[in-house]
Structure 1
Amino acid sequence: MVFVKICGLRTTEAIEAAIDGGADAIGFVMSPSPRQISAAQVRVLVEQVAGRVMTVGVFRDEGIDTVLRDSAEARVNTIQVHGTRTAAEIARLLPVVETVIRAVPNTVERPETGALGEHILLVDAPRAGSGESWDYSALAGRLSGQWMLAGGLRPDNVAAAIRAASPWGVDVSSGVESAPGVKDASLITRFLREAKH
């Protein structure tokens, strides 16, 4: 069964739709974005989740000190970092959360799961959060272990993308929105049904 993360959540309603639909993880964007949410707001939502799914604090280019501070305040159990990162930076995250996700653009020549010590590798479109789809089949057979496919996934293309790339998991944000930053519960439900069929 494919692991599914619904990202960019900001409301109890969206979170419950994700959990009810069978999501394995929910993500909170704590960097500048139409989906941005404060660490204090995330903490309230994480308390409502009560350990039912993986909770992910998503950061773009912030320094590791900021990532550590905000994720601790939010009480997420997973950290996802975008941007150019080093093994030393990932090593600072590993002791403080259960899981570390490292996100890279699909333009990386030879992505490798765990290359910097992360638990999960996420391969995204060049502009994370853009909703731009791409040739998912380009990754077929190139990656092993726990890696996630992201970028331009929607309820109407996720099943085909999974067939094309055979990822361990998938991640969606804009593909389940009615407007930038506004999650649609029915789209979340449809996405999960298509991804896990």
Structure 2
Amino acid sequence: MRTRIKFCGITRPEDIDRAVECGVDALGFVLWPGSKRAITPEVLEALGRRVPAFVTRVGLFVDQPPAFIARCRPHLDLLQFHGDEPAAFCTRFDAPWIKALRMRDGLDLNRAAAEYAGAQALLLDAYRPGVPGGTGEVFDWSRIPADYEKPVILAGGLTPANAGEAVARVAPFALDVSGGIEAAPGIKDAALMHAFVRAAALRECNHAN
């Protein structure tokens, strides 16, 4: 099965256009104000209108009020919860959702899969205390069970240099990249965007042959 690709931390309309040219499956918009890539609901509405059909608009939230998430919901296709939200909270918004897990020591992935059984997938990211994501760090991919029952979205320190290796070693449902395709936080680099997609696709082609 083809590995999907999500470009996260989109802040500019021109980066939407370039990402779509690359053929990505999803675009991530950070609605948590603590991020260097954060946008407002007003900006989300404008950017969301620019995303064409069949490209998924994903909103990233971190332990935020339900009213704020509900305000953003009409402009999103998928919700991504990156904080300590329990499953009961994630299901409140009449929308498909994914749950991000930071790979801290002792995390039981099978238990998390059962706890978040309603999630479309689990996004696995590197762990740094006090930082909900976007660390630019790679965790030990061998910690992911080969027979893991939930679709895995792999995040954390991905770049064009390791995207192919990630596909080959993990065979995830999707790759999620932000800083690895940027010239600066929230400013995507067109050459890196294309290189990332090529690297992931090339490894898949080589593996298939």
Q: Same fold (TM over 0.5)?
A: yes
Of 122, 130, 135, 1:130 maps to 135
Deviations 1:159-183 (A, max 9, x none): 1122222211110001111122221
Is the partner of 2:5 in helix, strand or coil? strand
What residue number does 2:156 align with? 151
Cross-structure match for 2:85:
85
Q: 1:138 Cα shift?
A: 2.1
Aligned to 2:101: 104
CA distance in 2, matches of 1:140, 1:26: 27
SS at match of 1:178: strand
Q: How does 1:21-100 map to 2 (within 5 A)?
A: 21-32=22-33, 33-72=35-74, 75-93=75-93, 95=94, 97=95, 99-100=96-97
Give unpaired runs (5+ residues) of structure 1. none
RMSD: 1.7
% identical equivalent positions: 34
Calculate the TM-score normalised by the size of structure 2: 0.85
The answer to whether the Cα contact below 8 Å between 1:113 and 1:147 also exists between their aligned partners in 2 is no
1:13 partnered with 2:14 = yes
8 Å CA contact 2:135–2:156 kept in 1: the answer is: yes
Q: Is the 8 A contact 1:176 1:187 kept in 2?
A: yes
> Quick one: which amino acid aligns to residue 104 of structure 1?
L
> 1:114 deviation in Å?
6.4
Distance (whole Å) between structure 1 residues aligned to residue 163 and residue 155 of structure 2: 10
In structure 2, distance between residues paired with 1:2 and 1:174:
19
Of structures 1 and 2, the larger Rg is shown by 2
Residue 115 of structure 2 aligns to a residue whose secondary structure is coil
Change (3 A) 1:133 1:186: same
Asked whether the equivalents of residues 3 and 171 of structure 2 are also in contact (C-alpha less than 8 Å), the reply is: no
User: How does the TM-score come out when normalised to structure 1?
Assistant: 0.90
2:205 is aligned to none
Q: How many residues align?
A: 192
How far, CA to CA, are the matches of 2:145 and 2:15 in structure 1?
A: 31
2:181 corresponds to which of 176, 181, 191: 176
Q: Deviations over 1:81-128 (max 9, x none)?
A: 1111212112213x2x2x211111012222544632111110111141
Q: CA deviation at 1:50?
A: 3.1
